[in-house]
Structure 1
Amino acid sequence: MNPIRAALLGGGSRGRYVYADYAKNHPQELRITAIAEPDTRKRSLIAEGHGILSSLVVSDWKELFPSSHQDFDVVIIATQDSMHLQPLLAAINGGYPVLCEKPVVPSLDELSQIAERAKHTKSLVSISHVLRHTPFFTRIKQLIDDRTIGDLVGLELDENVGHIHISHSYVRGNWSKKETSSPMILAKSCHDMDILHYLAGSTCETLSSYGDLFHFKQENAPKNAPLRCTDGCPAFDQCPYAAQKIYLGENTGWPVNVITTDLSFEGRERALKEGPYGRCVYHCDNNVVDHQTVSARFSNGVIASFTMSGFTMETHRNIRVLGSKAELKGDMETGEITVDFFATKERVTYQLHTKKDGHGGGDEHLIADFISRVRSMDIRSTSDLSSSLESHFMALAAEESRLSGGKEIDLASFQEQGRIRLLS
């Protein structure tokens, strides 16, 4: 059986280290036959690594459309968040199955536009809500649906972003400003809004949210801290965010492989002196939150709470699922799920073998599911466009609530507001 041929739009971290690497590791399943990436070095690395014809190595995705459908079978969109809308519409209009990175789009207006388009598309459009594809959340969903814990009453989900991850991606990195990316609750945590919606098995009725940019701002900078860590900071020894500690050690995987394609010590040092990742975290132009909470009520009566925080040692998710007959606790990173039954006081433990990277194995399962559905011409998906948009509306409503001091937002009215703005 021939591999599915893909046009990869975006050769950054997700494009190169998730989708392109999957093609390398599973050549019988997926082949990258076209690459659109504005960065010359990143584009060349993918083109050379996958033997892509020069005519299909382009800087602008528009050069690949329209296509005769002879060059690639599917489109994978891994560009920056604000760049998704037009290539997504072009791929849908061209009749291509699409795998698109989350968030699909960063604003209510664009979200409403995509929501209207989703009602009429007959193409497979899968969104990279990888948590749905992890063995961890798949098992929890099964336990809920099997009524192992009785009636589902509540969900409590924590996303521990990790102090290094937040400094890398949301202070120094590509997602540090909502104007050029999206609010953090959407950019980082639409995954979590989606998994709450998925586990609850119902639409969200109302929610409210609080959050702020608390720590990573200029007034919290150490005395005499320079604009760059490489300019001799007097607080170097005490600062956990000193760029040299994060990027100039033995590790050359994530997040180090994001800052430059030259991973030699000299190349990384040059990137810190010249690029955004060498900046002092207290002297950046970031404006997204570093902690946020959301409380939501679903139409079936389930109440959910969510906390996202950058002030944690590790990067991981943990969850508590409250049922009428039992309490479930789970840690995604360890893969351990425990269920404590009220009547018998019995504890049942499920130990899943989960990967430490790739979102607990979710990345691989997501791509495999997409390929399988393309082969079978099944336009349904575990994370299809229509169901995935619910999480985006939740995230954007949470941001509106946060900016309004925690005001309760009615989701149906919020979505209608977006539709009216689209049609006006």
Structure 2
Amino acid sequence: MEPIKVLILGAGNRGGYAYAGYAKMNPKMMKVVSVADPNEAKRKRIQEEHGIPDSLAFASWEDALINPPELDAVIIATQDKMHAGPLAKAMALNLNILCEKPIVPTLDECRQIEKDAADFTKVFMIAHVLKYTSFFSKVKELLDAGKIGKLIGIDLIESVGHIHISHSFVRGNWRNLAESSPMILAKSCHDMDMLHWLAAADCESVSSYGALNYFKAENAPAGAPRRCLDGCPHMIGCPYHVSKIYLTDNIGWPTNVITTDLSMEGRVKALETGPYGRCVFHCDNDVVDHQTVAMKFTNGVTANFTMSGFTYKTHRNVTLFGTAGEMTGDMEEGTVTIKDFSSRNIETIDLAKPVGGHSGGDVNFLTDFVMMVRDKSGAGRTSVKDSFESHYMAFAAESSRLSGGKTLSLGEFKKSGK
């Protein structure tokens, strides 16, 4: 069977490495036939790796979709603020769609896409890839099998990691609300989606607290320059100094985000002139670095979620409280433990060590997308219709946070935005 032919809009980390990388590793499944990105170096890299002629490489998504080549699908991996336009155009062209999360960064746009997608019959998936990890798949399987009885509550912790928070949400593309979207949406709509899936019911109410606590000018140590390489006297003791993150032997993520020239000279130049060389206390960031959300679902299940940038590493931990037992798990370690109340047995399941992006979720997600496009059927675990609920949960959580933790009814919020 022939590989599906795709157009990738956005040649950054997700478009250039996750999606184009999948096609490179799985040539019988997917073929990148066209690409669009305003950054010529990123665009050229995908062109060269996938043999794309100049006539099918574009500086804008608009140009790429004026008269697209024969395509099976379009992959939208542009910045959050740029999703609405290509989504509308792709639906008008009746193309199968894979869209990075979040779907769109504003409540009004979300309502419009939901309306436009109501009668759309092609495959339309959102990259909520956690549902495709072996870890959360196993947690869901055990939960549905009644291993801990009736579900009562969930605690989910997203440890963003001190490096990830500094790279993506202080120095990087998701640092500023005006340029991207709220942290709870940009980063944690994954987790809202997961809680909705595990609770197996719609969210009834939400309350949230959070703030930008640390990464701001008032916390800069005395004498810290605006750029790390301008002779910062705190280099040795600062975990965020760029030399410790980008000038090491690692040329994968996050280093490969700051420049396409990964030589030491190229990286130093990028840090001397680009956004990733700035002191974390002297950036234009305004998104939160720590946030908690409390939720109640229509079936009575309650959930607590914590997102924090103040963690040693990037990982997710979950605890599920049931009437017959307790289940805990660590996604990155690939372990799930069930503690049975009656027998007092403790069972730990060691899953295969996850490989690849998002603990293996990326590959499984993309394979499912390819198969549905080929078969012309199926909705997958992350259809756009299923994904709207997580987005409304995130929008409501942000609204609650901004109002000092006010409890919001999801039903009312969807109608009024209040």
SS in 1 for 2:206: strand
Quote the residue 2:61 is aligned against: 61
Distance in 2 (alpha carbons) for counterparts of 1:354 and 1:23: 23
Please report how far the alpha carbon of residue 271 of structure 1 lies from its aligned counterpart in structure 2 after TM superposition: 0.4
Q: Deviations over 1:349-378 (max 9, x none)?
A: 111113254011000011000001111111
Distance 2:354 2:325 in 1: 27
Once residues 353 and 371 of structure 2 are traced to their aligned partners in structure 1, the CA distance between those partners, rounded to angstroms, is 22
Q: Distance in 2 between matches of 1:116 and 1:379?
A: 20
For the 8 Å contact 1:328–1:339, the answer to whether it is kept is yes
Alpha-carbon separation, structure 2, partners of 1:59 and 1:352: 43
Which residue pairs with 1:230 in the alignment?
229
Residue in structure 2 matched with residue 166 of structure 1 by the alignment: 165
Number of aligned pairs?
Answer: 418
The answer to whether the 8 A contact 2:153-2:322 is kept is yes
Q: Contact between 2:216 and 2:280, CA under 8 Å: does it hold in 1?
A: yes
1:133 aligns with 2:132: yes
Matched with 1:366 is: 365
Q: Which residue of 2 aligns with 1:82?
A: 81
Give the distance between the partners of 2:40 and 2:65, measured in 1 at CA. 20
Q: Aligned partner of 2:64: which letter?
A: L
Aligned residue runs from structure 1 range 352-391, under 5 A: 352-391=351-390
- Check the 8 A contact 2:223/2:233 in 1, yes or no: yes
Is 1:287 equivalent to 2:292 in the alignment?
Answer: no
SS of 1:229's equivalent? Answer: coil
Q: Distance in 1 between matches of 2:356 and 2:367?
A: 16
Per the alignment, residue 262 of structure 1 pairs with 261
> Which residue number corresponds to residue 415 of structure 1?
414
What is the CA-CA distance between 1:389 and the residue it aligns to?
A: 1.0
Superposition TM-score, scaled by structure 2 size: 0.98
Which deviates the most, 204-213 or 143-152?
143-152
Identify the residue that residue 103 of structure 1 maps to in structure 2.
102
Query: C-alpha displacement at 1:144, in angstroms?
Result: 1.0
Question: In the alignment, which residue of structure 1 is the partner of 2:176?
Answer: 177
Contact preservation (8 Å) 2:214, 2:289: yes
The CA deviation string for residues 236-277 of structure 1, in whole angstroms up to 9 with x for no partner, is 111000011110011110000000000000000000000001
Q: Distance in 2 between matches of 1:393 and 1:307?
A: 18
RMSD between aligned residues: 1.1
Matching residue's letter, 1:89:
A
Q: Distance in 1 between matches of 2:85 and 2:108?
A: 13
CA distance in 2, matches of 1:124, 1:377: 8
After TM superposition, the structure 1 = structure 2 runs for residues 13-412 of structure 1, keeping only pairs within 5 Å, are 13-67=13-67, 70-412=69-411
Equivalent residue letter for 1:332: M
The separation in 2 between residues aligned to 1:318 and 1:217, in whole angstroms, is 28
Q: 1-side partners of 2:185 and 2:309: how far apart?
A: 15
Tell whether the 8 Å contact from 1:122 to 1:379 is kept in structure 2 after alignment. Answer: no
3-state SS of 2:300 partner: coil
SS in 2 for 1:122: coil
8 Å CA contact 1:333, 1:356 repeated in 2: no
1:417 to partner: Cα distance: 1.6
Q: CA deviation at 1:62?
A: 1.4
Instruction: Give the match's secondary structure for 2:348.
Output: strand
TM-score of the aligned structures, taking structure 1 as reference length: 0.97
User: Conserved in 1, the CA contact under 8 Å of 2:295 and 2:304?
Assistant: yes
Where structure 2 has 5 or more consecutive residues not aligned to the other structure, the ranges are none
Cα deviation 1:82-121 (Å, max 9, x = unaligned): 0001101111111111000000100011011111112221
Q: Which runs of 5+ in 1 are unaligned?
A: none
User: 1-side partners of 2:210 and 2:43: how far apart?
Assistant: 38
Q: Deviations over 1:46-87 (max 9, x none)?
A: 01110112211111111222446x522100000000000110
User: Matched residues, percent identical?
Assistant: 52
SS of alignment partner, residue 328 of structure 2: strand
Distance in 2 (alpha carbons) for counterparts of 1:195 and 1:186: 13
The whole-number CA distance in structure 2 between the counterparts of 1:254 and 1:272 is 15
